[in-house]
Chain A
Amino acid sequence: MIRSASHSSYPRIGDGEWDQQLRRTARERDRGLATDADFRAVEDEVASLVVAEQSRAFVDIVTDGLVRWSGPFSHFARGWDGVALDGLSRWFETGLYDRRIAVTGPVKRCEAVVVRDAKLALDVRPKHYKAVLPGPVTLAFSARVADGADRAAVAEEVAAALAAEALELAAAGVKIVQLDEPILCRRADLADLVARCAAKVFEAAGEGATTILSTYFGDLSDPALDLAALPGTHLGLDMVHGAANWPVLVRLPEGRGVHLGLFDARTVRPETAEEAFERIVPYREILLARDVMVGPQCGLELIPRDHAFDKLLQARYLKEKLEREWRWHS
């Protein structure tokens, strides 16, 4: 099966008058002219609009754009005990900053964080909706912990908290869950821990769920990495920044689906479905035997909205081209 897919985040503001609503309301809130409730209401509207906008690009699998997330990690602190927000830190080498998580005690989930968001997104009735969760290992190894603290133990606690979230997402009707573990591209030595934590979350997502272990900002070419040991129905690979990921396709375990990050969500350089098609042609036989998703390699909020929309359009065109030329069906 071949499907087009959004990765995770989507720009929450754009150039149009209404597209500035979230930014405008945030500024009004800062000046005391709007309340938190006003801001949350606009966030909900924007999130629904973002689901609709991705659907308008005829992308098969969409997200809610992570529109309500304060940052890739900090957003989840609101629902967990044992963590606090620390100083500002850069999200890998991107220009996006987030408050770093500081671990202050055993990490435990005290309330749902993205379940309501998922329900509202499903109300928009997209073709397929994907919920995105932060990777426990990437989070634990980026967090501020006490000297000598066991980061692996923190990752296991975070995985338990996210498993509880995944269980509620499944109950809410979510059938596709993605766990982001970009750290795996830089720390192959953490593969066992990543596998253990991801398995815990994916198991909670329910039998029959599509589970994506997403990696990006690098590659999984380390020969010591046992791809078969990584859980999930799909492995997410960055084919833009991780050129060494192309040979990895040959090593993929039999039957494992793949989310191919073919479009660069970090640049506004125009890309076409034809260019992406040419890149995957040599891997035709390997890909045809699998369930494949095509789209950008990471969240789209690193580029302006019109460019983000165009990347999704190209993903859709690529999928349609593959259907036509390879007689591949979605």
Chain B
Amino acid sequence: MASTTVLSPVKSNSTLLNALGVLPGVLLLAAIGYTGKFLEHFLNTYAKTHHWTFPNIEYVLWAILIGLVIANTVGVPKVFQAGVATYEFWLKLGIVLLGARFVLADIQKLGGISLALVVIEITLSLLLMTVLGNLFKLKPKLISLLAIGSAVCGVSAIIAAKGAIDADDEDSSFAIAAILALGALALFTFPVIAHSLHMNDVSYGLWAGLGVDNTAEATAAGALYSDAAGKVAVVAKTARNAMIGFVVLAYAIYWAGQGQAATVSNKAAFLWKKFPKFILGFLLVSLLVSFHTFSKGQVGSLGNLSKWAFLLTFAGVGLCTNIREMSKHGLRPFIVGAIGEILIACLTLGLVIGADRIWGL
């Protein structure tokens, strides 16, 4: 998956070749993203001019839909694939730059609430997925992967855990397919449910960050509701991502105890290795903004650069969602994933509504 994509370090001619290799795909991401932005603007203007009542369909949804249609009809030609796979890079770049739109006090408040909810969410999700997996008699390591994927952060967590618990490729692709398919479903259902419940931006953003597993999809689900909700979703999801090392370490120790995975001798090094470093970048940019390193106009520019990076990400989410591939992985893991995700979505919704009552989000 894209989360394992590593951009080659600056060395020799291969760097130039790599850069040229990703260019067509990146241009495709940009073209799809920009078309989404154009369609949103065009349809709104057209509807207003002709006095039509037309729902505002955000560029996020257009970009994802166009990508989905391409990926599931003509497919993504090979020449574009390397560039399309960079969407996870644009996501992380967008998140780091998004730090400019938060001062540390915001992060302290939102991050504190998010962390409290994340701990509850992770505990309940791990328990729930383990019980469901055992009920449906899935393979033990597949249960671990599904539990980690749904509790922490989707694809990245599954990939991190796969190595740590020595799971096989088939199990991890099952788990990834289930998490991605359900994340894609959440993109379309979460905003509808939230609108029907008249949720405010902060509550919805927290829900999207806690309930949608893959970071790209959680970011998109938040942005689909509103710009403010998108920002909160990123903070909540980032707080969840920060826990990846602890959860994977716990599973690695468990499976090593069973004699079915490698022993982890240096736990601090293991935690650092698994920690998503882009979170530190996000905090650093936010710190710089909090100390007034940038003027108001410059903060606006950084925020807009972040939006452009997300635009490429959303196009990539659609282009990397291959429904045919997902359906090849069999029904049982998907059913367990679906039941688990629906229950987790209800549970996190309850948590957020509860937090709103207690803290007044």
B is a partner of A: no
